[in-house]
Structure 1
Amino acid sequence: MELKQYLDYRKELLRESRDQEGFTSEASFIGISVLPLMADAKLIDSEDWQETYYSFAAEKIKINGYMVNESGERLQLFILNEDSVNLAATENDMAISQKSYYENHFSRAVKFVKRAINRNLEDTQDSSPANVLINQLSSGDILNQFDVVEIFLVSATATMEMRGNDPKPKKFDFENEEFSVSYAQGREQLKKKMLIIRRLIDLNFLLDVMISQGNREILTIEFGNVFGAPLSAIKAASEANFESYLCVIPATNLAELYRLHSTRLLEKNVRSFLDYKNDANRGMLATMKKDPSKFIAFNNGLTITATASDTSQQSGITLIHSLTDFQIVNGGQTTASIYFGKKANVDISKVFITAKINVVKEVAEQELNAFIKEISLYSNTQNKVTTVDLDSQNPQLIKLKAMTMSVVTPSGKKWFFDRARGEYSTMLKKSGNRNRLEKEFEDRRFSKEDLGKYYTAWGAQPYMVKKGGIKVFKFFITALCGDGEKRKPVDIDRTFYEELIAKIILFDRLNKIHGIGKRAIGQLRSAVVPYAISILYAHTDGGKSDLYFDLSRIWKSEGLEEDLADFMEELMRLTNELIKKYADSDDVGENSKKKELWDRVCSSTEIQMFMSKKTSIHILGKYTISTEERKKLSKRNKKIVDFKYLSDNVSIFTNGIAFYDRILVAMNDNLSTVDLVKLSAIKSAIAKREDLSQKHINFEQELTRTIGNEHPEVFEYRPVEEDLIWKNSFEFILKVYNNALENNAEVSVEFKKIEEMAKHKGIKYYSVFVQIGEALNKGQLPTMQQLWYASHILELKGSAHIL
């Protein structure tokens, strides 16, 4: 990777992180540009963080914010290298080759932690957002809860080896640090070791995540470093691409593994650790306490997967030195129970666990996921386990992507679904008109992670939205795909899509109304917005009345009408105060992730009084519809034509033959004979106006993604005017089709009208519109040849206003 690519990506991140007022602040850079990529890499459980800026320049102390991991034992702190987001910084400033540069920044956060624990930061103002964190770090209960402080240094710099004239990417690892803390819990004075883990989040890391399309960061376990010795095992199976080992792991070693890596060990586990209230976890705890030596007999053990191993042989025993892409795919609750049992002062020195290690070599992520799913199903035959595809290849997400390509809004615009991380960025690079597209999709773009929040907020689980991350996404995907038993998969039709977009508009508009910084309603936006939406839901769809909120009204207006916006602002102001009033912790942000707080707020006297006001009754009456009206809406246009295949063809044709000639020049030495044949077939299809096969479309998409990463200069061109006719003709056809559906008109009749108008104006090939209308009426797509014939109507002055 060249330095220029990192610096270009830095510009992209700074551009993306502009807040509502068009500025890039430290908080917006972390929250908008960095946390989503860290969540993709599974370094954090959620994108939801508490912004708690604190800086004391004279003492070289700084912190930007924090979050607590899902299982609660790890405090994760964020510090931004402010020099790295300075727009005036030079390219030389952004290339870092010295480890000490980063260590100096880490030391500011470490100093904050140690000073806070020792109560040496108590001179902060009462209004300081860091006060809650500072008070927590000096609290005995919180110090007892946290075993690890993980510090993430966010730096928009490229870490490079600068020897010679050709800088190379470089990676720095930072050693962990342990220090002793003393604290009181009740009348007891306690002492323990606190672990500090330091992790650099630089441009190298961020671009790697983007290039991998949001795949998690690979976890490699060096057993000598963790256990003090290799892991002894017996080889049970060995094939060309598969090996299996059996071993026994001391519980003390497993607990240390969890302390170092927490839930990253369990990313692909189908279950999550609940707590000791769960019968299975309570049983494990009881066995550890009363009969530890029998734990190995009672427990089913672990199933571990990896994609590579480093082993050696000694006296007939296999010594496993390391495992790459280490994942505990079965036995996650056992692992967590052992760790939290030890944390609760249970003696686990006599506890051992059996483990089966499966090393699956040279497989793609998708194949590995399928293998793990089978393990999960076969390993849990006694207890029903529902598995869903959490990646971008989930069939329901693919259908949703097709919807964004097939449906236009009443004003004739489309939404962009960033189904796999990097799709939007690749589209911008390929377009040749980045500024226009950025403006076009500025407020009409969403990711699969965003969907989890938007969809779930319209319900009775706003605390789940506040948790964010994999928790809310799993909840959303399960709702979308069903559970294989009582709950059926959602039908991804036009009505579902329109209502989903309405939910996105509602959520996004409330975010803007709430505001940020000094003009904001408060400092709890990430809780207030979903809470307010869920309160609205509770008094409409989720209530006992026969009334449903009319989401189609938001879809049609593509925004919130003024009286509804005013009503929701008033509701958010009240919600902000009630969250603070009913929270049972000083850390209100974290407390809002609990169902108990939501129940208190939703059922409060204040909410009941607010919803009983005359203005509230008027709003609910105006924006709700009956069950019968809702049924009529859901029946309308249930099935629509899927335009994705045609859209993919149009995208390739719009690139033009010259674009693929540029690819040949840039990649000729790296393309196989088969690849060259496919590329030639694509150029031939464009020249002859013939539809491309799905095989060639898939090849082109994978090829251009690779080029975007390795040869971005290929995208530095603008399509010629004659190639743009494909896109313009496609959008014209799509608008005619969608307008017909929106107005409950017959599709073929609407295209017949276009034909008559074209004939009257003397447009060539006017009969093609009848052919297209009849095809769409049958659920069939027009051909690329027909699209070319139809493009001649665009020569008519004012054709954009025909509709």
Structure 2
Amino acid sequence: MEQTDEEFFHDFRQELLAGAEANGSFQLSEFMEAIANDLVETGFTEGFELCHFRAQRGMRVDGYWFNDEGVLDLFIADFDSRNELASLTRTEVAAAFKRVANFFEASANKGLAGELEVTSPEYGLARQIADRKDAIRQVNLVLFSERTLSEKIQALPDTEVAGVPVAHHIWDISRLHRQRSSRSHKEPLDLDFEQMFGKGIACLPAHLGTDAYQSYLMVMPAEVLATLYERFGARLLEQNVRTFLQARGNVNQGIRATILNEPGMFFAYNNGITATAQSVETGMTDSGLAITRVVDLQIVNGGQTTASLFHTRKRDKADLSQIFVQLKLSVIDSLQSETVVPRISEYANTQNRVNAADFFSNHPFHVRMEGFSRRIWAPAQKGAPRETRWFYERARGQYADAQSKLTPAEQRRFKAEHPKPQMFTKTDLAKFENVWDDHPRWVNLGSQKNFARYAARIGSEWEKSSDAFNEFYFKRAVARGLIFRATERIVSAQPWYNGGYRANIVAYTLAVLGDITKRRKESIDFLGIWNAQKVDPVLESAIAVVSGVVNDDIIRPPQGISNISEWCKKEACWTRIQARTDAIANLLPPEFYDRLVPQDDQAAIVKTAKQTQRIDNGIEAQRKVLAVPAAEWARIHQSLLEKDLLTPKEDGVLRVAMQIPSKLPTEKQSVVLLDILDKGRLEGVVVSEP
């Protein structure tokens, strides 16, 4: 049953109140972070930095993000912790945008930074706007509102502030509700080529009448592609490709050289682009069929080509008028897209395989973590009546989807078993892990870039040994999550905390604690934290001490760097803090060290967990193999034998499987049999899925 906006508003408000209490943050901060997280996940913005500033002179800002492509997103809130859903008028929208535009103008042209406190977030932002003024090519003003627009405000006209083009975006409760409940959990782009470019784009149908899906070959003008990327950025890229691009540089030098030196040969040299859409509209023109409109265009391969066309046009003032790109477009409805699109992405990206690129939500690592999260009960806290679970959301929206078909009573039970504060996503997991593994700087780059680096790291570790990702890894990750969220709460409560840079302080505080323990060849007792399901007072006070020193360090960036959050993204920042580790270690009480456990003990636990995982993998492989009937194994054996594709070992193992149930393959043989199934699929042998 579809929720109304009213019901969504009340649920969202309850989440907000619970989140603010759990994180020790103000409701306004929680409101901004909650919506920004959604928009980062779906690629609407690359990141979000909290920065609340209001002045008498009609100025206000609540957050910002500079991306690497000369775009500045400035966020402003319409939030008053209202109890009921109210409506937002055009006049109020205009007033809010005016206030945030005033802040930009005062920062760019009127020396606002000179009037602000040097360690405050607003000083860092105003100063950065002034310093980067010439490099900012586009400003997006984004209004987050807890109300709903009283009238459907059509696209607000683009304007200019301080000589920079400005676009306006409104995320009200209705739009947030639509985004969260849409099948793909993101707002689809609706591109009308005739309206945007004056005409459709020539295409050739590449499907036969009865095919399950339609596909088209298009010759895409590079100008169109670069303009789409300029306007919509990462929203055009399927999540995977976005992750892949985050892990790599922006401009491919080979592509750039062709654009500048041999534009006429671009079509011949370039592999082209693979894309998907939910639906398309076509029309006949004098020169044949043309696509006039596309809903939810997603580039699944060719993100680098697209980004490079845009950057070369911008930086090198390149003329793209002679350049065309071959584009293969498959129309796949949203029901199929969750399974088909990642496959297209995986296969289309094989020529530039990178672990981050195929590390999307159905990678076996995430599937295994999800399995643990649905199976393992977290111990009940003292005084709590029941055990609960930590819900790992490997694909966007799973937590909401899991409840959508339940009755109200079942929903209450689900929420009691899986409390909202115990839900965590792929990007959360990447943060929890990277701060302890010597990578606090990555965490400060923003959740998408941090996830890209985590993905590359885990992807290669999985290839070496997937047994390392076991029950202990899951429990330790949850314990790290408990510490991470406790640190957010502790930092917010400190008397020195002035409302800014919390994410930076948290990342470096935990990295310092990790560094102190590693130097002593010891470790925080993560299993102890998992068992207690909370952080003990001794660790809490250590976090308070370390965070104070970290704060003192980061608010004094070296000469020439004015923005503290920019300084926190540099390796030099971590190096400088690490140099103080021994001094910080002396500030911690003996009780802190008494609670640490020797690394050797951890190593023994890890070894046992790996062995258990190996056995589990074997049992799981056996279960899958036994689910395939003997006659099916015989058919696979026959097909592969005819194609001369079996090694002697595979032949022998298949002969065992052909005798199920009188003979049972061992665990090791079962792993080989699953590989044979994969080989069969690649060779076109249809296998009924176990």
TM-score, length basis structure 2: 0.76
Report the secondary structure of 1:130's partner residue. Answer: helix
**1:208 aligns to 2:178 (yes or no):** yes
Question: In 1, Cα distance between the equivalents of 2:155 and 2:439?
Answer: 39
Deviation of the 1:134 alpha carbon: 2.1
Report the secondary structure of 2:153's partner residue. Answer: coil
Report the secondary structure of 1:138's partner residue. Answer: helix
Deviation of the 1:515 alpha carbon: 1.7
RMSD: 3.8
Q: Equivalences for 1:350-499 in 2 at 5 Å?
A: 350-364=321-335, 366-367=337-338, 369-381=339-351, 383=353, 386-390=357-361, 394-404=366-376, 406-409=377-380, 411=382, 413-417=387-391, 419=393, 420-422=398-400, 430-431=408-409, 441=419, 444-476=422-454, 482-483=459-460, 486-489=463-466, 492-499=469-476
Question: In 2, Cα distance between the equivalents of 1:426 and 1:464?
Answer: 35
**Letter of the aligned partner of 1:44 in structure 2?**
T
Which residue of the other structure, out of 515, 518, 532, is the alignment partner of 2:509? 532
Deviation of the 1:282 alpha carbon: 1.8
Report the secondary structure of 2:274's partner residue. Answer: strand
Deviation of the 1:597 alpha carbon: 2.9
Can you list the C-alpha shifts for 1:512-547, whole angstroms capped at 9, x where unaligned? 221258553873220111212222323445x5x754
**1:292 aligns to 2:249 (yes or no):** no
Structure 1 residues 309, 21: CA separation in 2 closer, same or farther (over 3 Å shift)? closer
**Letter of the aligned partner of 1:285 in structure 2?**
R
2:95 — aligned with what? 104
**Letter of the aligned partner of 1:149 in structure 2?**
V
Deviation of the 1:129 alpha carbon: 3.6
**1:149 aligns to 2:139 (yes or no):** yes
Larger radius of gyration: 1
Structure 1 residues 443, 174: CA separation in 2 closer, same or farther (over 3 Å shift)? closer
Which residue of the other structure, out of 547, 554, 569, is the alignment partner of 1:579? 554
Deviation of the 1:308 alpha carbon: 0.8
> 2:280·2:295 contact (CA, 8 Å) conserved in 1?
yes
586-595 or 409-418, larger mean C-alpha shift: 409-418
Structure 1 residues 241, 640: CA separation in 2 closer, same or farther (over 3 Å shift)? closer
Question: In 2, Cα distance between the equivalents of 1:526 and 1:630?
Answer: 30
Report the secondary structure of 1:321's partner residue. Answer: strand
Can you list the C-alpha shifts for 1:301-343, whole angstroms capped at 9, x where unaligned? 2222212111111235221111111112111111111222222
Report the secondary structure of 1:581's partner residue. Answer: coil
Structure 1 residues 566, 357: CA separation in 2 closer, same or farther (over 3 Å shift)? same
> 1:564·1:619 contact (CA, 8 Å) conserved in 2?
yes
Report the secondary structure of 2:140's partner residue. Answer: strand
1:676 — aligned with what? none
Question: In 2, Cα distance between the equivalents of 1:425 and 1:124?
Answer: 50
Deviation of the 1:471 alpha carbon: 3.0
> 1:498·1:555 contact (CA, 8 Å) conserved in 2?
yes
Deviation of the 1:260 alpha carbon: 0.6
1:173 — aligned with what? 154
Deviation of the 1:112 alpha carbon: 2.7
> 1:6·1:158 contact (CA, 8 Å) conserved in 2?
no
Can you list the C-alpha shifts for 1:724-755, whole angstroms capped at 9, x where unaligned? xxxxxxxxxxxxxxxxxxxxxxxxxxxxxxxx
Report the secondary structure of 2:62's partner residue. Answer: strand
Report the secondary structure of 1:381's partner residue. Answer: helix
Question: In 1, Cα distance between the equivalents of 2:415 and 2:461?
Answer: 40
**Letter of the aligned partner of 2:204 in structure 1?**
I
Q: Equivalences for 1:22-101 in 2 at 5 Å?
A: 25-31=27-33, 33-46=34-47, 48-56=48-56, 59-69=57-67, 71-83=68-80, 85-87=81-83, 94-96=86-88, 98-101=89-92
Which residue of the other structure, out of 109, 128, 134, is the alignment partner of 1:136? 128
Report the secondary structure of 1:515's partner residue. Answer: helix
1:511 — aligned with what? 488
**1:623 aligns to 2:596 (yes or no):** yes
Can you list the C-alpha shifts for 1:694-753, whole angstroms capped at 9, x where unaligned? xxxxxxxxxxxxxxxxxxxxxxxxxxxxxxxxxxxxxxxxxxxxxxxxxxxxxxxxxxxx
> 1:73·1:146 contact (CA, 8 Å) conserved in 2?
yes
> 2:53·2:122 contact (CA, 8 Å) conserved in 1?
yes
> 2:183·2:335 contact (CA, 8 Å) conserved in 1?
no
Report the secondary structure of 1:593's partner residue. Answer: coil
> 2:141·2:168 contact (CA, 8 Å) conserved in 1?
yes
Question: In 1, Cα distance between the equivalents of 2:155 and 2:444?
Answer: 31
Structure 1 residues 460, 262: CA separation in 2 closer, same or farther (over 3 Å shift)? same
Report the secondary structure of 1:237's partner residue. Answer: coil
> 1:248·1:352 contact (CA, 8 Å) conserved in 2?
no
Question: In 1, Cα distance between the equivalents of 2:247 and 2:37?
Answer: 28
Report the secondary structure of 1:389's partner residue. Answer: coil
Structure 1 residues 233, 423: CA separation in 2 closer, same or farther (over 3 Å shift)? closer
2:165 — aligned with what? 195
Report the secondary structure of 1:174's partner residue. Answer: coil
Deviation of the 1:34 alpha carbon: 1.8
Identity, % of aligned positions: 19
> 2:244·2:354 contact (CA, 8 Å) conserved in 1?
no
Report the secondary structure of 1:28's partner residue. Answer: helix
Report the secondary structure of 2:64's partner residue. Answer: strand
**1:635 aligns to 2:605 (yes or no):** no
Question: In 2, Cα distance between the equivalents of 1:564 and 1:150?
Answer: 41
TM-score, length basis structure 1: 0.66
Deviation of the 1:579 alpha carbon: 2.4
> 2:276·2:341 contact (CA, 8 Å) conserved in 1?
no
**Letter of the aligned partner of 2:27 in structure 1?**
S
Structure 1 residues 250, 423: CA separation in 2 closer, same or farther (over 3 Å shift)? closer
Question: In 2, Cα distance between the equivalents of 1:378 and 1:276?
Answer: 17
Q: Equivalences for 1:269-348 in 2 at 5 Å?
A: 269-270=240-241, 272-273=244-245, 281-348=252-319
Deviation of the 1:65 alpha carbon: 1.7
Structure 1 residues 286, 365: CA separation in 2 closer, same or farther (over 3 Å shift)? same
Deviation of the 1:458 alpha carbon: 1.9
Deviation of the 1:221 alpha carbon: 1.8
Deviation of the 1:266 alpha carbon: 1.5
Structure 1 residues 609, 15: CA separation in 2 closer, same or farther (over 3 Å shift)? closer
> 2:64·2:73 contact (CA, 8 Å) conserved in 1?
yes
Can you list the C-alpha shifts for 1:755-775, whole angstroms capped at 9, x where unaligned? xxxxxxxxxxxxxxxxxxxxx
Q: Equivalences for 1:103-122 in 2 at 5 Å?
A: 103-119=94-110, 121=112
Structure 1: 5+ residue runs without aligned partners? 162-170, 183-193, 643-803
Report the secondary structure of 2:308's partner residue. Answer: helix
> 1:299·1:353 contact (CA, 8 Å) conserved in 2?
no
Can you list the C-alpha shifts for 1:123-182, whole angstroms capped at 9, x where unaligned? 74336542222223233xx12332221111111112356xxxxxxxxx433234243756
Count of residues in correspondence between the two structures = 600
Can you list the C-alpha shifts for 1:482-529, whole angstroms capped at 9, x where unaligned? 349743335554322321222122212222221258553873220111
Deviation of the 1:49 alpha carbon: 1.5
> 1:210·1:421 contact (CA, 8 Å) conserved in 2?
no
Can you list the C-alpha shifts for 1:432-460, whole angstroms capped at 9, x where unaligned? 89699679947644344422221222212
Which residue of the other structure, out of 541, 544, 553, is the alignment partner of 2:528? 553
> 2:389·2:417 contact (CA, 8 Å) conserved in 1?
no
Structure 1 residues 257, 632: CA separation in 2 closer, same or farther (over 3 Å shift)? closer
Question: In 1, Cα distance between the equivalents of 2:184 and 2:345?
Answer: 24
Question: In 1, Cα distance between the equivalents of 2:548 and 2:203?
Answer: 60
Question: In 2, Cα distance between the equivalents of 1:595 and 1:136?
Answer: 20
Question: In 1, Cα distance between the equivalents of 2:436 and 2:207?
Answer: 49
Deviation of the 1:638 alpha carbon: 3.8
1:704 — aligned with what? none
Question: In 2, Cα distance between the equivalents of 1:17 and 1:618?
Answer: 31
Structure 2: 5+ residue runs without aligned partners? 617-690
Question: In 2, Cα distance between the equivalents of 1:633 and 1:269?
Answer: 31
